[in-house]
Structure formats: structure tokens, C-alpha cells
Structure 1
């Protein structure tokens, strides 16, 4: 039987999602705990590979397993959360068709990047602090160029495994948030390093070192060397993964969690 697991994690101490030899990753810990509880080897596959230090308030992974006799899904989730480290939590597990795929069936993903403008030592692992407020209007003027079907080569890390760099971007913009601002970008797919490179270049616009028109030229150049450096990992969250109607049972989604709304 195949299952979807909806989970969240603080990426601070993890070297990204994907299993890597000799280092701690989210996938490694999840597989270890699932295998322990289900008493069989379990291998999960996530909707996307978050980088080292990047967080997820809504990640989705699928795994195949036969539940031991007497173990229901509510108990599985309870035991999983007791086994997982404190910086990882599962919110929902449910069966899906055997061909369902957490990555390939995802239609839309949303990332947020958090910027603090008020000093807060407790927010340091989860937001970028700036001691001067950026020009949000200029950054939003630049971000508007991202919306639509575009080639994001200028905002992709070199050496990725992507076969192409086209993404359909539905939303991109900066919004007020308590103590700062948050950048939200929603698209059908993201290429490697894309959000942090977009944010880093938009912050250059916000500092007045690049105009919105120059940002557009960087984007259109399809040349990575023209973009600014990537924003630091700690401010970035994968915050929503959307699937075709009927694949995720909306009546079972937890209440009170913003990334499950709508």
C-alpha cells in the first residue's frame, strides 16, 4: 500500500532533505523512524529536495509499506511523532493509489522567504535580519517580471540535473509580516537554488543597487553570472504542496495550520 505523509521540519541542523553518506538529512531520519515503527525497510520520496538549512512547514512524502496487524493510521502517526526528533513532525498520513507520486503528481509548490527588520534572537534560525528596510515597492516591481512561463536559467545553480529551466510562476511578491516582510513565490516547479537566487537578487534591488529594469535584464539574459548571490538558507520555507483534486482528502487536513488552508 502506498501512503502520503504530510510533515514539517526545522532544517537548521539537517543537510537538506536527500539522504547523503555520512551526514544527517531529513529523509534519513524519516526513513529510520518509519522502518522502526513498521518493522520493515521503508524508503520515502519527497515532493522536493530542500537544501541544507532550508525548512518546510508543509512537505509531502510518499512511501510503500504494509501496516502491521492492529496498527491504524492514527496510531502510526502518533508513534512516528514520538520517534522523530523534536525538529520534525508529521501532520497527516493517508492512503493513495499505488501510482501516486509525491514529486511528479505535485501541481504547484509555494515557498516563502522571511526577512526580519526588527532584531529578534529567537527568529535568527528562521529569518534573514536586515538592519535597514529595503525598498519593497521596487522589489515588487521587479518580482512582477517573474510571473508567467519563463526560463529561469539566470536563477539556477550550475551543475543541476534539470533537463530544462522553464517554470510557470503563478505568484511572486513581497508582503508585510510581523517584524518584517515575507516573499512568497508559487509555481509549478522550481529549479535548483532558484528561490534563494531570486531573493538575493531582489534584495539587491531593495538596497538600490539594481533597478527593477536591470533585474528584468538579468532575468532575460539567461546567464547565472549576472544574478546576485543567493540569500541565506535560514529564511526559506517550503510552505505548501498542491495536488490534483481528490488525491489529498481535504476533510482530513488539520485545522489551524495556515499551509493547509484553502
Structure 2
């Protein structure tokens, strides 16, 4: 009876190993993107909250398009495109967002006209790691200054009123999330709360892409992963069977 129980315990342990390993190993990476998101409260005006426009996700919809945003006094854009994809074979993920004909009126009383012909953000996650970048075309920042077409990560231009910083505009904003993913925002306008002369509070984000970390390249449940699983089964099962046979032989000799 002990021999049978030992063998049964081994089978249960092996089954638990394979069942427990399959979902974790099969879990792929994720990716998402959107063209614009707003959450601002201007002095003397009601709050404006706009959900992400043209949101895309590697789980679907993988592509999305929005004809344009028109929020008077805050933001106006042309066509927005976003996409996110996953390569199940490599485990890699990729996302991209582009917003055309951007005009930010939120700060126009202080900085003058802020516009861009095209604002893009993209990121990729592979087994080697995470990378991201932003691209700007036809940018006019008015009194705010200048920025490169491919700005360095987290390039910041301050917006001041009477010598007091009331906002900041971040180009190619990049940061790691708690789950290990990377977010890239092509442009992030941040109104600073509690500052004298503040225009209000909140954020405007243009062209955002998030991805990673990459998933495992071979799902355990199928293909080459199945053979790997069977190999692990053999490695675990062999010692259990050997011990069972030795105990049986000892019982027979007694």
C-alpha cells in the first residue's frame, strides 16, 4: 500500500506542477495605446474629463481611429490613430499612437499658440527589455521655447506667469509602472495645483503608448512548450518510479 501511495503522490505532484505552470507560462505580455486624454479643471469653469480617444489594446481592439478632438479653449486635434500588438511566438509586444494637427489652447493666454502637425509615441517590449520613443513634426511652441523633433526622455519646458511656475509641458515622458510596463507620452501638459496665478489643475496627454514586460516566448500548453513540459514530467517521474521499485523489491525480499 505504501508503494502505491508513493506512486500516486508522485503523479499528483507532477500533475500539480504541469497544471500550475501552464497558465503562468502561457500568460503573454500586454500593450495599449491612445491618442489623447484630458482631466482638467480651469478656474471659473466646470471640470473637463475626457476618456482616452482611439484606445487600442493587444487584447482587442488592436487598432483604433478617432476623427478628431474639439474641446474649445483646451484642445483641438485632427485624426488620431492607435495600435497595439503581441507576438505570441516571441512574447514581444508593441504599441503606437499618433495624433495629427494638434493645437493646445489650454495655455494660449500665457504661451501663445502651441501646435504640431504630428505627435507620435511608441514603445516595444522584447526579451531584451523595454524601449520607447516620441516623434514630433511641425512643432510651434510660441513663447514656450523650442524642442527637438525627437526629444530626449522627460524633456520639460516650464510655463511661468509673472515669474511663477504654473505649469509644465513634458515631451517624450517615460516612466515605469508598478507592473513593470513602460509608458511613453509624447506630450504631457501638467497644470500645477496651488500655485499663485494658476490657470487651474489637471493634465492633458497627447499620444500615449504602454507596453511590456514581454511575455514568455513559448506557451507551456502547446507546441515546443508541450515537449518541454513532457521533459519536465520525465525528470520528476523518474526518481519517483525508482524509489517505488526499490521499496517493492525490499518488500518482496522480506
Higher helix share: 1
Greater fraction strand: 2
Q: Structure 2 length as normaliser, TM-score?
A: 0.25
- Scaled by the length of structure 1, the TM-score of the pair is 0.24
